[in-house]
Each structure stands twice: as C-alpha cells, then as structure tokens.
Amino acid sequence: MSVCSCISTTCVVIVILQIIKTLVPWLYKNLLGPKFFGPKIDVRRMGQWAVITGATDGIGKAYAKALAKKGVNVVLISRSKDKLEKVAEEIKSASSAQVKIIDVDFTQGPEIYDKIEKGIAGLEVGTLVNNVGMSYANPEFFLSIQDRDKLLRDIIECNIHSVTHMCKLVMPGMVERKKGVIINISSLSAVVPSPLLSVYGATKAFVDKFSVDLNTEYSSQGIIVQSVLPGYVATNMSKIRKETFLAPNSDNYVASALTTLVALKFYGPKLNPLYHSEILSRCVLPDICGRDNLLRLVPHETVEATTRIA
C-alpha cells in the first residue's frame, strides 16, 4: 500500500469514527434511551390527581386521556361546559379514572382562580399540565392586529398568568409532599424566530424561561418542571386537520412527550419528542437562531429531583 492510500484510509477511518462518536450518543439520548431504558417517572406515585388546563381539545385533551389511562384521576379545566362534560364522559368510558370538571375562561381575570382553588381543594394533585394557550387568529404585523388591546391582554392572561397562577395554587401541596410534576406547554416559537406572532412567541418564551428557573428552584424539594416546546401539532389552533409528516396528531405527540419525562442524570438535561417538524426547523434555522437553540428542546430536569424519584 502506498503512503498516499495509507493516509487517505486513515483519514476516512477517523471521519467515520468521529461520526459514530457523535451519532451514537445522540441516537441513544434522543431515541433509544427515553423509549426503552432507564427510570421513568411514575405519575401515579406523584399524587392521585392531575390538573390539566385547556383540556377539551388538542394537546390538553391528549394529556388528560393519557394520564387517566395511567391510572391518575383528572381535573379538566376549560371554557365550554358542554365540551368538558363530553370529554369527561369519554375519559370515564375509556379508563377507571375519576374525572372532575371546572369551567372557567382564562381571559377573565384573577377571580377565576378562586373557583379553581375551590374545585381542587382537598385533592392530592401530583401532576399539573399548564397547557391552555391562545394565539392570533392569523399571523399579523404587531401594529395591524385587530382589536389589539383586548387580544394582547387576553393572550398574556391566558398564556402567562394562567401558568403562574396555577403553579401558585398547586405547588404548596407538592412541596408539602415533596413530590410533583409540572408540565408547561411552551412552543417552538419561544426559541426560533416567530415574526408576525411576536406577542405569542414572547409569551411562550416566558413559559420556557419560567419553567427552567422554577425547576432549578424546586428540584431539591422533589418537584420536576418540564418545559415542552412543540413544533406543529395537528389541532384546532394550528389549523392542521390531519396528522402529516411534519405535524403529529396530539395523541401521538403527547405519548412521545411523556416518554421524555425521564431522569436527567440518565439522559442529559434536554430531551425532545422527535418530530420531523422540529428537527427540520432546527436544521434549517441554526444560523439564524444560534447553535444553543438547536439544543434547547424539551424537557428540562435536574439531577437532584430526578435521582430522588428514580
């Protein structure tokens, strides 16, 4: 073998080894690990009840169904009483879980939290899913948003205040019992550019930042806060009717998201339900977003909290 071919073979081997060194841990961390190995968080052990906001459709309804199937009783919170009753019946007929409903409109100011507080009084709430959220009817320039003052106030009430208020109501019980899971639904638009949805994106960035820091504050007290950043999911909000290659349906999305609720020590700080839409966004946008954003997926958990639960 000539010196030249020897050098080129060595170079090819080095490149292949480098690729394997990068690819195998990535595949393990993002695909195989969460699905097949390691400690999972048993939501039943967190507490008998889960509270889900925005539970009558889309991602929230999918969380309610999935948690009920895991044997957790569910409190469904949404705006329309008839839809709440229908979803409650659906869940009861598909599982043995108890179901409570609370009808409130999250754009209606702080008074609604008194009703929620009464509705969940005495329940051992181990899981809170802060899912409710709203956006503009259509993407729009900030100054051209129709009925801007009201809409922006509503979006902020619904997307931000609901999260902090619900945490305030539910967390004291979790801290007392030294365990609990809070799942906050942010959005990919929190970390990638979202022009024409600037206020929506900013509210979701709040949810993400709040979740990460809250997790750090309370992980030593046994509470895990997960920030979930969906890309497109086929729901009413996205106006995508059917599951596509780029947009999973909400049941499949939530099933995947729940598998990421695992120990950080085992898999590293940030995991992601693997969907093409998110991968594409992150491959296409790195130059605009910066490399760190490629890694800011979901969820955020800390070593201390998860080790104790595992």
Ligand X SMILES: NC(=O)c1ccc[n+]([C@@H]2O[C@H](COP(=O)([O-])OP(=O)(O)OC[C@H]3O[C@@H](n4cnc5c(N)ncnc54)[C@H](OP(=O)(O)O)[C@@H]3O)[C@@H](O)[C@H]2O)c1
Q: Name the residues that contact ligand X, by CB under 6 A.
A: 54-60, 78-80, 83, 105-107, 131-134, 158, 185, 187, 230, 232-233, 235-238, 250
CB of 16 to ligand X, least distance (A): 38
In angstroms, what is the minimal distance from the CB of 134 to ligand X? 5
H/E run at residue 100 = strand 99-103
How far is it, in rounded angstroms, from Cα 221 to Cα 224?
Answer: 9
Closer of 175 and 246 to ligand X (Cβ): 246
Q: Which is nearer to ligand X, 134 or 182 (CB)?
A: 134
Closest distance to ligand X from the beta carbon of 211 (Å): 13
Beta pairing, strands 125-130 & 49-53: parallel
> With respect to ligand X, which residue has the nearer C-beta, 35 or 153?
153
Cα separation, 184 vs 191, in Å, equals 15
- Cis bond upstream, residue 299 (ω within 30): yes
Cβ 233 to ligand X shortest distance, Å:
4
Token pair recorded at residue 196: 């024409």
Is 274 exposed, middle or buried, given 0-12, 13-18 or 19+ CB atoms closer than 10 A?
middle
Separation between Cα atoms, residue 119 and residue 101, nearest integer Å = 8
Q: What strand order describes the sheet that includes 223-228?
A: 99-103, 73-78, 49-53, 125-130, 180-185, 223-228
The smaller minimum CB distance to ligand X, of residues 22 and 138, is found at: 138
Decide: 200 and 252 in contact? Cβ < 8 Å: no
Type of residue at 182: I
Q: Shortest CA distance to 201 belongs to which of 147, 152, 150, 250?
A: 152
Nearest distance in Å: CB 191, ligand X: 11
Q: Say how far apart CA 102 and CA 116 lie, in whole Å.
A: 7
Question: Tell me, what DSSP letter sits at residue 51?
Answer: E
Candidates 28, 136, 200, 267; catalytic one: 200
- CA angle, corner 90, sides to 87 and 96, nearest 5? 115
Question: Which residue number, 163 or 223, has a Cβ lying nearer to ligand X?
Answer: 163
Considering the complex, state which of residue 125 and residue 192 has its C-beta at the smaller distance from ligand X. Answer: 192
Size of the chain in residues: 310
Examine the residue annotation and report whether 200 is marked as an active-site residue of this protein: yes
Instruction: Tell the smallest beta-carbon distance from residue 106 to ligand X (Å).
Output: 4
Catalytically active residues are 200
